[in-house]
Amino acid sequence: MGESNCIFCQIVDGEIPSHTVYEDDAVMAFLDANPLAEGHTLIIPKDHYSTMDEMPDAVGAAIGRALTQLAPVVENSVGANASTIGINNGEDAGQEIPHVHAHVIPRTPDDHGGSIHSIFGGTPEIGDDELTELAQDIETRI
Ligand code: AMP
Ligand code: ZN
């Protein structure tokens, strides 16, 4: 039983219908109900975690494995040779459903979409010294 007020837990529990394409012990994948492109697929952990940092390593590995296996299959199913794969990880990043989900969006040359870089208006000025300091700080936090 998942979170009763979570739409994706309700999909896992079969209380809400979905166009499921894959399921194993830890992971489920289904078509997005409002696809950005034909074949737009969501991959979710079956257990409820709001954001990536809440997921145990094994669940993260299962999501990664499913992404690796499913992305090329999803692409092939709609005749695409590429996909944009992304996770809105937290409300500030645009996550609307607080149950971790990875988007696999098939891409074609004429779809008028951009790269992940196009989400942002530009690049902030960050000097090399600052990058060095930041890298060291992140490294020591891991
Ligand atoms: P996000 O902004 O990353 O939280 O994206 C949530 C995604 O879930 C959107 O792309 C929605 O179209 C999709 N979505 C919402 N409800 C459903 C549903 N019942 N079945 C499939 N996809 C859904
Ligand atoms: Zn949930």
73-104 per-position pLDDT tens digit: 999 999 999 999 999 999 999 999 999 999 99
Residues with Cβ < 8 Å from 59, sequence gap 6 or more?
26, 45, 47, 49
Ligand 1 lined by 87 (C-beta under 6 Å): no
Instruction: Tell me if residue 19 is catalytic.
Output: no
Is pLDDT at 19 greater than 80 in this prediction?
Answer: yes
Q: Helices (H), strands (E): how many in the chain? A: 3, 5
Pocket perturbation via mutation, ligand 1, pick of 20, 28, 32 by most ligand atoms within 8 A of CB: 32
Q: For residue 28, report the phi and psi dihedrals to the nearest 5 degrees.
A: -135, 150
| Contact (Cβ atoms closer than 8 angstroms) between residue 42 and residue 32 | yes
Ligand 1 lined by 41 (C-beta under 6 Å): no
For residue 106, give the nearest of 141, 80, 133 by alpha carbon: 80
For residue 29, give the nearest of 122, 72, 40, 37 by alpha carbon: 40
Task: List, as ranges, residues with CB under 5 A of the ion ligand 2.
Answer: 2-3, 6, 8-9, 48, 99
pTM attached to this predicted model: 0.96
Tell me the torsion sign for CA atoms 44, 12, 105, 95: negative
For residue 26, give the nearest of 65, 52, 54 by alpha carbon: 65
Burial of 41 (0-12, 13-18, 19+ CB in 10 A): buried
Ligand 1 lined by 36 (C-beta under 6 Å): no
| pLDDT tens digits, 98-120 | 999 999 999 999 999 999 999 99
Ligand 1 lined by 32 (C-beta under 6 Å): yes
What is the chain's mean pLDDT, rounded? 96
How many other β-carbons are positioned within 10 Å of the β-carbon of residue 40? 19
| Contact (Cβ atoms closer than 8 angstroms) between residue 45 and residue 96 | no
